[in-house]
Amino acid sequence: MSRLRPLLVGCALTLCGSGAFAQTGAKRPCVLEFTGVVRQGVLTTSMRVTTMADGAKYTYISGGVDATCRGQGNRLLADSAEHYADRKELILISKVRYRDERMRLDADRMTYFLETERLIAAGAVSGTSLGGARFAGPELTYLRARPGVRSVTSWRAPGRPTVRFATARTDEVRAERLTASPADSMDVTADEVWSENDSLVWARGRVVMDRHDLQATADSAFLDQGTEHVRLRRAPRIMGSGERAFTMVGREIDLWSRAQALERVLAAGEARVDGDSVVLRSDTVDVRIADEQMDHVMAWGTRAFAEAQRQQMEADSIDMRMPRQILEQVQAFGRAMTRAEVDTARITSPDPDWIAGDTVIARFETVPRTPTDTASTTRLTEVQAIGSARAFQQLASAERGKDRPNLSYNRGRIIVVRFEAGEVVRVDVQDRASGLYLEPASEPPAPKTSTTPVSGRRVP
């Protein structure tokens, strides 16, 4: 057993490994330097060197470990360590801390492979990267960027860790990233998370992403922190958490943000978005966000379907304008049709009213939900069909009862149907106009009777 001086340098004490570590130049691997730990004025670090039968040297260090790679700016601290010179391997045990210019890690145990610059941390791992990622999990593998070894830094965390990514990207807020709050960060929990160059991030296995404005789930995810782009795959689901929440699903979902604010969500493959006043589904749905609310929604691909305020619309593509997530206008293009449920308080009919054309445009107005309610809803004011337009309406008849409405059918190049308080008040037909207006008879016809002999008797 020998005592270590406060500064213990390299190969003279056999702690640097083989002679290969003495090479010079930028590609040189880690050359270990150890500094003795002094506690309350007493040097507590000690070491024991053992030579194995095959000549390999094993060194055990106790009483505190303080080590660094010569000239590389990193530092390793622990209660004890095992150094295997021939294997170029350093094992640090209990209260282990690692620091360099890009990474800060704490763990119960770490293994540092000196030649390949690979560090494996295990047991209650926590840490922070230069880019602002903060991890907590059972294990993390850190690969340092070194000339001749690898060009960029990367890390991989299995065992279902939780990683908080700071969303601030400017140099002025670099220091604040280390303490990013939920308001300016995104938490990712998955079976495995890994990152390259502190910018590109992958996650797989039961991925859950939490931001202040949404929660997302998927089986796999990709994040580009430089462009603030996120891609979710395999059963992805987005749940907006703004003032007016929405839900979005598809086979693949992309999200784009700017300055920490969500701006766009694109769902492809059996896509669907559910808002508080609208439902839209198609092969592809594109949602633009403003102030954490849906502002503009587009759908295309196969047939697109929309439901809003007792209206069902379908077309080859649909475009919705809804500032503050309040429906204002819907445009449907290509074999467009909108159907409206009849007012069951006035009409009893299994058939809806409808209007169709090459293009259909529906406009809505904002009204209070009740006379004393400060919240608002929307109400249809006008539907316009353009190109091969057709329209069918059922109009209540006070004289003939709810189950016998008047029927109106019109055709033309353009048809405009106007509403007041949800009721049709005017139908205008332009160019090549034709149509029918039918009123049921004043009295329904008497049922016909027939006589058929049954057991010698007549029956009605």
110 in Cβ contact with 78 (< 8 Å)? yes
Look at residue 458 in the predicted model and tell me its pLDDT: 42
**Domains of the chain from N-terminus onward:** 1-99 (no CATH), 308-460 (2.60.450)
Look at residue 451 in the predicted model and tell me its pLDDT: 54
Distance CA 402, CA 396 (A): 7
How does DSSP assign 348-386, residue by residue?
--SSPEEEEEEEEEEEEEEEESSTT-SSEEEEEEEEEEE
CA-nearest of 61, 85, 51 to 1 is 61
Tens of each residue's pLDDT in the chain, 460 residues: 444 444 443 333 334 433 333 333 445 668 889 998 988 888 999 999 998 888 888 899 999 999 999 888 899 999 999 999 888 999 999 999 999 999 999 999 999 999 899 999 999 999 999 888 999 999 999 999 888 888 899 999 999 999 998 765 444 434 444 444 455 689 999 999 999 998 899 999 999 999 988 899 999 999 998 899 999 999 999 998 767 788 999 999 999 998 878 899 999 999 999 988 789 999 999 999 998 888 999 999 989 999 987 789 999 999 999 998 888 999 999 999 999 888 877 888 889 999 999 999 999 988 765 555 545 677 889 999 999 999 998 888 777 778 888 899 999 999 999 988 878 888 999 998 999 988 887 665 666 665 555 444 443 3
Distance CA 189, CA 206 (A): 8
User: Would you state the torsion angle of the CA atoms of residues 177, 182, 188, 193, taken in this order, to the nearest 10 degrees?
Assistant: 20
DSSP-derived letter for residue 176 is: G
CA-nearest of 5, 119, 141, 16 to 70 is 16
Is the pTM higher than 0.85? The answer reads no
* Residue type (1 letter), 111: T
Which DSSP helix (H) or strand (E) runs through 107? Answer: strand 103-113
Residue 400 has, within 13 A of its CA and on its CB side, a CA count of 18
In degrees and rounded to multiples of 5, residue 12 shows phi and psi of: -65, -25
Return left, alpha or beta for 219; rule: phi > 0 is left, psi -120 to 50 is alpha, else beta.
alpha
Strands 376-395, 329-340: pairing kind: unpaired
CA-nearest of 246, 190, 247, 198 to 221 is 190
Look at residue 453 in the predicted model and tell me its pLDDT: 52
The Cα angle at residue 170 between residues 167 and 176, in degrees rounded to 5: 65
